[in-house]
Amino acid sequence: MRGTDVSHRDFAYGEAGQARTRLSIYADRPNLRAGVREDAVAAGLEVTATGSLEDLAFEDVRPLGDIVLVDCPQVDARGTAMLARLDQTARRSGTRLIVSTSVEALDCVFSCMDQSDPILLVDPDRAERVLALGRVMASFGQTRLRELSEDDRLMLLRLTEQVGQIAGQIQRLGPGSGAGAVGNGPVFDFGQRVETKPGAAAKADTLPELPPAALVRRILRQRQQRGRFFEGDLFADPAWDMLLDLTASQGEGKRVSVTSLCIASGVPPTTALRWIGQMVEAGLFVRVCDDSDRRRAFIALSQSTQDAMARYFAQLELTGAMPL
């Protein structure tokens, strides 16, 4: 294969004959490939192939590996088709994808990768890529972990140590170099309806309307004003800010791209993407494809979330409380 640095293309095994976890790396920047390879080897992963995006486009790139890390800061029509094909292949094979891109290309990459649940990173630093590898390994579950060799079971611990070392090395380059990891996220109780008095059954099933978009935008501006007087991270609440932004957009009749929603969240794009994924998985957001242009996809409130936001603002109006 042209330009491809391939090593150990077949399976690698531990001492007990157990299959080791394999990683493939595809990026056009040689220094990035070398850095990812160094970190992966230090963490105990078996790097089976590295190459450029052109190499990944070849049909004979097999096997992909248990994990494939792809860097595509810019994508054209051919790149979009390649990513979509990779996404479908990964879904069928169970390969986990880590795809890094830029803010400018995020919408295009997001729209063509909706099958394999990839981890998307936006302009990530070295530590964020290592953290993404750790997240993928953790997602394999206990059954998969028991099948790994002793070296691979220790790999997760080494990943944590590696992140700490890398973060320390790059900390002096500037603020915000950490990954901004997200935990389990907030828990929303959107299932309760406002109780009605006996005899009011005719109105009980009538849901209130969403609040005026202008009101929601004003709330968002007020929340953003806090950043002028206090450290922005002190009030970071990406889930709620995204809920408000989508609520306002719903009232305005606007569709919201994933890039726009990342901006509205007030946190780094990679962190925002993790929140969006969690909100979609929880059924709060839905992914909406653009039927006229398959290169675009949008995020919207699910119907149940729309109802919940309408009830929330109606309750505030009844009690005279100030929206936050």
Contact 71, 26 (CB under 8 A): yes
pLDDT at residue 119 is higher than 80:
yes
Does residue 172 surpass a pLDDT of 70? no
Label residue 161 by pLDDT band (50, 70, 90). Answer: low
User: Domain ends where: 124, 154, 173?
Assistant: 173
Range of the structural domain that residue 233 is part of? 201-319
28 and 144 part of one domain: yes
126: pLDDT strictly greater than 70: yes
Is residue 191 in a domain? Answer: no
Domain boundary residue, one of 153, 173, 193: 173
Average pLDDT rounded to a whole number, residues 116-135? 90
Q: Which of 173, 193, 223 corresponds to the end of one domain?
A: 173
- Please tell me the total count of domains within the chain: 2
Residue ranges of E strands in 115-197: 119-122
Q: Are residues 21 and 144 in the same domain?
A: yes
Q: State the pLDDT at residue 181.
A: 38
14 and 161 assigned to the same domain: yes
Question: Both 10 and 86 in a single domain?
Answer: yes
Residue of 222, 283, 288 lying closest to 250 (CA atoms):
288
Q: Quick one: 91 and 136 in the same domain?
A: yes
Alpha-carbon distance of 259 to 296, in angstroms, equals: 11
* 93 in a structural domain: yes
Cα separation, 15 vs 268, whole angstroms: 42
In-domain check, residue 39: yes
Residue 190 falls inside a structural domain: no
60 shares its domain with 157: yes
Q: Identify the residue whose tokens are 């309806």.
A: 193
Residues 272 and 313 in one domain: yes
pLDDT band with cut points at 50, 70 and 90 for residue 150: low
Whether residue 265 is predicted with pLDDT greater than 70 in this model: the reply is yes
Q: Exposed/middle/buried for 253, CB within 10 Å: 0-12, 13-18, 19+?
A: exposed
The strand pairing partners of 182, in sequence order, are none
Give the whole-angstrom CA distance, residue 173 versus residue 210.
45
55-91 burial, b at 16+ Cβ within 10 Å, e below that, comes to bbbeeebeebbbbbbbbbbebeeebbebbbebbebbb
Which of 163-172, 177-186, 233-242 has the highest average model confidence (pLDDT)?
233-242
Predicted confidence at residue 141, as pLDDT, reads: 58
Q: How far apart are CA 264 and CA 84, in angstroms?
A: 27
Give a yes or no: residue 195 inside a domain: no
Binning pLDDT at 50, 70 and 90, where does residue 183 land? very low
pLDDT for the residue numbered 121 = 95
Confidence class for position 105, pLDDT limits 50, 70, 90: very high
**Model confidence at 19, in pLDDT bands (50, 70, 90)?**
low
On whether both 10 and 159 belong to a single domain, the answer is yes
Q: In this predicted model, what pLDDT tens digit does every residue of 298-318 receive, in sequence order?
A: 999 999 889 888 888 888 887
Q: With 90 as the cut, is the pLDDT of residue 285 above it?
A: yes
Q: Are 94 and 169 part of one and the same domain?
A: yes
Is 12 found in the same domain as 156? yes
| pLDDT (average), residues 163-171 | 50
Task: Work out the percent of the chain whose per-residue pLDDT is above 70.
Answer: 69
For residue 108, the domain's CATH number is 3.40.50.2300
In 3D space, the residue among 50, 106, 62 whose CA is nearest the CA of residue 83 turns out to be 106
- Percent share of the chain, pLDDT over 90: 31
Rounded mean pLDDT of the chain? 76
Which CATH number fits the domain that encloses residue 208? 1.10.10.10
pLDDT(196) > 50: no
Residue 273 within any structural domain of the chain: yes
- Please determine, for residue 177, whether its predicted confidence score (pLDDT) is greater than 70: no
Which residue did the predictor score with more confidence, 169 or 185? 169
Confidence grade of residue 130 (pLDDT, cut at 50, 70, 90) = confident
Contact 130, 159 (CB under 8 A): yes
> Rounded to an integer, what distance in angstroms lies between the CA atom of residue 204 and that of residue 133?
49
Is the model's pLDDT at 143 over the cut of 70?
no
Q: Is 185 inside a domain boundary?
A: no
For 311, residues 6+ apart whose C-beta sits below 8 A from its C-beta are 193, 194, 207, 208
Residue 130 and residue 275 in one domain: no
Does 35 fall in a domain?
Answer: yes
Q: Could you tell me if 159 and 32 lie in one domain?
A: yes
Residues with Cβ within 8 Å of 322's Cβ and at least 6 positions away in sequence, in order, are 316
Mean pLDDT of 219-238: 81
